[in-house]
Amino acid sequence: MRSSLEKGRLLGIFTERDFIKITGSGMSLEDIPIEEVMTPHPITLSVKDNQGIFSILSLLQKYEIRHLPVIDEFGEICGLIAPNTIREILQPPDLLKLKIVANVMTTQVMQNSPTASLLEIVQQMATYWKSCAVITETTTSGDVITLGIITESDIVKLRIGELDFSLTPAQKVMSCPLFPIQTRDSLLLANELMKQHKISRLVVTDEVGRLADIITETTILEAINPLEIYATLEIIYQQAQERNTQLTQVNAELQEKIDQLEEEFQSRTVLLEKQLQEAREAARVASLAKQTFLRNINHEFKTSLHAIFGFSQVLGHSSTLSQKDREDVENIRRAAENLLKLLNCLLELSKNEAEGDSDIESCFELDNLAVNQIYPTEPVTLTPQNLADLPSEWLASLHQATFQGDLEQMLALIKEIPDKQLAKDLAFLANNLRYEEILKLTQPRG
């Protein structure tokens, strides 16, 4: 772009688009004065107006121009505003991120084949006021594939090189490779690509690489004008409302689930408490029944045992009994005494269990050999030969204790045996009341 000045005063502006018109008409640039082809009395912006960026964007869109000269207070030109300068300064990433290429891309794209002449392309650009032409070809399947692009800047450079436009095909001078962008990409990505490659246009393709449209610096700037910003804010507001509605719905569902879980928890707690109470009541009833049963058994057993004690004492003082009968009566008394002790222990154990104490050891105080010893599970078969090495006095003592039914004395004697396996076997016979076998094993030796 160039401006025409007369004594510092701005007279007109000459842009790339004006250059395209001249080139398309076939006129020689050397023979035409600039005042005949420039745009006179262009729209300008004064530095003293102190216009905001959105006002500048409105001016560019209102008059459909891409260049806005800036003049000072004396009417002299001091600068120029163009889409690329605005885009470099104004880069609202949030707004560009929310919009996609499909929302702002140009709907009409000028397409030419790779064999079209450069002159033909320039003439079409001048006729239809296009800033570029996309070079494409159609595949056998009917898809339009992009090959390259020719822009106003390319035309200016080629004209300076005195190239014959009528004989030059597009494929020879087109710019490639392209930097395409897809319709679903954000404007923020498009803006970054333009900055990175220092270009002002991007070809838009679909998912399979077919030409869709183009996007320019101007279309990006149009996306951030006040009306577009208002529309974007409306979109943001709607999205926020939708998110808020979704969040409210999710919170309601969560609260409903929490209430349901709390209700289930309360129901299960009540049910468990009821079951626990029923179990406690059942245990109490069972314990009461057990104690009642034991009290009845205690009465019945003690009545019988006391009768046995009484008759054994009477018989023990009888003068008609032989010595052997007296010993038998004494054995009966001792057996009854042991049975009474066992009954008292059972009652004490029942009482301790009801009070939460089940210390069997302290109640019975039985020898470890009688209670805790692990006995053989297989049938025990012993012969007198197994006891041949034991002293005859010891055998006589065990025989006497067995005959008397004194289990405690029997186990005490068995514990003295050095042979642990033999001791286990004899203890097994004693604890299983197999007294007859022990008596046969310990008969006095003839």
pLDDT at 115 over 70: yes
CATH superfamily ID and name for 93-224: CBS-domain (3.10.580.10)
Report DSSP letters for 432-445, one per residue: TT-HHHHHHHTPPP
Token pair of 88 as six digits: 């470099």
Per-residue pLDDT, averaged over 91-109, amounts to: 70
What average pLDDT does the segment 396-416 reach? 85
User: Bigger pLDDT: 47 or 317?
Assistant: 47
Among 155, 212, 226, residue whose Cα is nearest residue 178: 212
Q: Is the pLDDT of residue 138 over 80?
A: yes
**Amino acid (one-letter) located at 131:** S
Q: What is the pLDDT of residue 250?
A: 92
Contact 138, 243 (CB under 8 A): no
Q: Is the pLDDT of residue 203 over 80?
A: yes
Q: Where are the beta strands (DSSP E) in 72-227?
A: 77-81, 111-112, 132-138, 144-151, 181-182, 201-205, 211-216
Looking at the DSSP bridge assignments, the partners of residue 203 are: 214
Residue 368 pLDDT = 38
Q: Is the pLDDT of residue 366 over 50?
A: no
Nearest-10 Cα torsion for 148, 105, 1, 165:
30
Residue of 153, 284, 158, 131 lying closest to 215 (CA atoms): 131
R_g of the chain, CA atoms, integer Å = 58
Angstrom distance (rounded) from CA 319 to CA 416: 39
**Which tokens go with 143?**
């898809």
The CATH superfamily of 2-81 is CBS-domain (3.10.580.10)
pLDDT category, 116, cuts 50, 70, 90?
A: very high
- Which range is most confident: 257-271, 363-377, 419-433? 257-271
CA atoms within 13 A on the CB side of 214: 27
Return the DSSP state at 175. B
Sign of the alpha-carbon dihedral angle for 124, 222, 48, 79? negative
The dihedral formed by the CA atoms of 192, 194, 195 and 197, expressed in degrees to the nearest 10: 120
Q: In what helix (H) or strand (E) does residue 71 lie, and over which residues does it extend? A: strand 68-71
The first and second tokens of residue 442, run together, are: 């310990």
Interval 73-82 mean pLDDT:
81
Choice between 98 and 308, residue whose per-residue pLDDT is larger? 308
Indicate if the pLDDT at residue 360 is higher than 50. Answer: no
At 204, list the tokens: 């838009």
- Identify the band that residue 107 occupies on the pLDDT scale cut at 50, 70 and 90: low
Distance CA 312, CA 318 (A): 10
- Angle between the N-to-C axes of helices 152-160 and 16-25, in degrees from 0 to 180, rounded to the nearest 10: 60
pTM to 2 decimals? 0.42
Say if CB 161 and CB 182 are below 8 A apart: no
Q: CA–CA separation, 411 vs 388, rounded Å? A: 19
Give the model's pLDDT for residue 445.
67
What ranges in 161-225 are assigned the alpha helix state H? Answer: 170-173, 187-197, 217-222
Nearest to 42 by CA among 83, 87, 72, 80: 80
Inter-axis angle of helices 392-404 and 323-354, nearest 10: 70
For residue 81, the cross-strand partners are: 68
Q: Find all residues with CB under 8 Å of 124, minimum gap 6, and list them.
A: 110, 112, 130, 133
Record the tokens describing residue 343, joined without a space: 């009954």
H or E element that contains 229: helix 226-316
Whole-number pLDDT of residue 417 = 92
What's the mean pLDDT when you consider all of the chain? 78
